[in-house]
Structures are given as structure tokens and as C-alpha cells.
Amino acid sequence: MHKQIEKIKQNEGKPRVLKNIFNKSEIEKFLSLYDELPITVHNKKQNVIKKRWLQEYGKELEKLFYERLSNEIGKFKYDNLKTDQGDDILGLFQESYNPIGLHIDGGFNLNDLIYKQTLIPLTPVGSTVIFKNRFYGQSTNFTTDKNELEKKELNYGQNKRSSEHIGLYGKKPFDSDIHKKYVNHENIENLVGLEVELIYEWEVGSMLIFDRTNIHCSSSVIDGKKIGLTTFTKK
């Protein structure tokens, strides 16, 4: 678990959606940046492409993004892993055709004072489910899949696999209507005790800000591909 949990809790708040924070021209610049960046991961099995926002790319956007976000959450530091050369990564672009499972993005250094994370949709169709439930450990994928739980040899930046959330938030069955409509890619037994805080319907030009301790996942609602930019912060 994180070493500074009480300080982390002091900075927590409800998820926020900032509408029209980026105009059409700025979104097009983000998409151009995405096209320009080299591929970091192309997982054909999961049908997902990931690209790291490297410092030498998109200097103008870097300044714009920092100003917009710091106006909302105050001063922050980036916490998006590092390159092989030790340079900070500014964010992660992800192009996906399948929903992303239940997880938290608590980082990998338990001494850090983790803060907020952001999601900028760059395509219009998609949604993200934020749960009220919080977890104060490292970045973790929550699953009851035995094959996933057996994965111990993880690469740098890969989430731990765990089922320790089961029973942690009580035994109340998850809402079956919400499961059917939004998270049917998840085994409903994997959602026991969880309650939805926000279902964020993607809207190009907007930005979602939420705590890195919030458990969350993609919704099952995907029409073709979706592209989003995620950034993690710390104090």
C-alpha cells in the first residue's frame, strides 16, 4: 500500500468533467501528435495500440496542456513512467477496439504522493465508468481470471494482477441493469461491492479529471475504435 495514504486522501475529490476545454483546432493537433508518435505497444490479441507522449514531441501542446490542467488542479508533476533514457513521459495515447478492464492507476512507487489523472477523448464514441470505491495500492488490474492471476513476470510499467478487491467493499451484488448496459465485458462477480460514481460519456473537446485511487474501467460501449489521451500526476 502507499506510504502517504492520509495525505493522498486530503487531495481527493469527486470526478469532474470539463466541457469544451479544448477547441476543434487543438483536438486536431492532439490527433496529429498521435499520428507522429512511434508505437510503444501493438497488442494484436487485445487489439490495442499504445503510444507514449515523448518530451521532444508536441512542445506547444505540452505547454497548453499543462496550463489548462494546472488552472484546474494547481501545481503538479507528471507521473507517466520514463523512457529507456530516463526522460519523463507526458502521457499515454491509446487506440483500442475492445473495452479495458477493471483497474486503478496508482503508479509503481509507493512513496509517491499520487494525485489526479486525466482522460481526453479524441474520438466521439466511448464511455468510462468511475466507481466510488478506492484502492491505495500500486497500479493493479482487478480480476478473478485464474490465468491472469498467474502472471507474475511483468514488464516495466505493467499492472499487477490481483483479486484482493473481492470482499474488500462488502458483498452487495453489482447492479444488474448497469452491468448489462455498460460493463458486460466484466464478469459480474468481479464487481461485487462496487458502486458507480460516474459514467463519463466521451465528448470530444472535454476532459475528465479524477483521483488515481478511484477504481475504474472502460464501458462496453465501443463503436469501432476509440482514441484517448491519459495523463497521471503526483504532487
Splitting the chain (235 residues) into consecutive groups of 10 residues, what average pLDDT does each group show? 97 98 97 94 73 92 96 95 82 93 96 98 95 98 93 85 95 97 96 98 98 97 90 97
pLDDT in the model for residue 43: 64
pLDDT in the model for residue 40: 86
Helix crossing, 59-73 with 24-36: angle to 10°? Answer: 120
pLDDT in the model for residue 45: 57
Give SS3 for 43: strand
CA-CA-CA-CA dihedral for 187, 189, 191, 194, to nearest 10: 160
- Is 106:160 a contact under the CB 8 Å cutoff? no
Q: Where are the beta strands (DSSP E) in the chain?
A: 16-18, 41-43, 48-54, 77-78, 89-96, 103-104, 114-121, 127-134, 140-142, 160-162, 196-201, 207-211, 214-218, 226-234
pLDDT in the model for residue 151: 87
Q: Which DSSP category does 175 fall into? A: P
pLDDT in the model for residue 82: 81
- Partnered with residue 63 across adjacent β-strands are none
Q: How far is CA 234 from CA 179, 186, 213, in A?
A: 32, 29, 12
- For domain 5-234, the CATH superfamily is Alpha-ketoglutarate-dependent dioxygenase AlkB-like (2.60.120.590)
- Partnered with residue 92 across adjacent β-strands are 52, 230
pLDDT in the model for residue 15: 98
pLDDT in the model for residue 86: 79
Closest alpha carbon to 101 in 159, 157, 52: 159
86 contacts: CB under 8 Å, gap ≥ 6: none
H/E stretch holding 180 reads: helix 176-182
Distance CA(3)–CA(13), nearest Å, equals 20
Distance CA(34)–CA(67), nearest Å, equals 20
pLDDT in the model for residue 100: 92
pLDDT in the model for residue 44: 57
pTM over 0.85: yes
Give SS3 for 197: strand
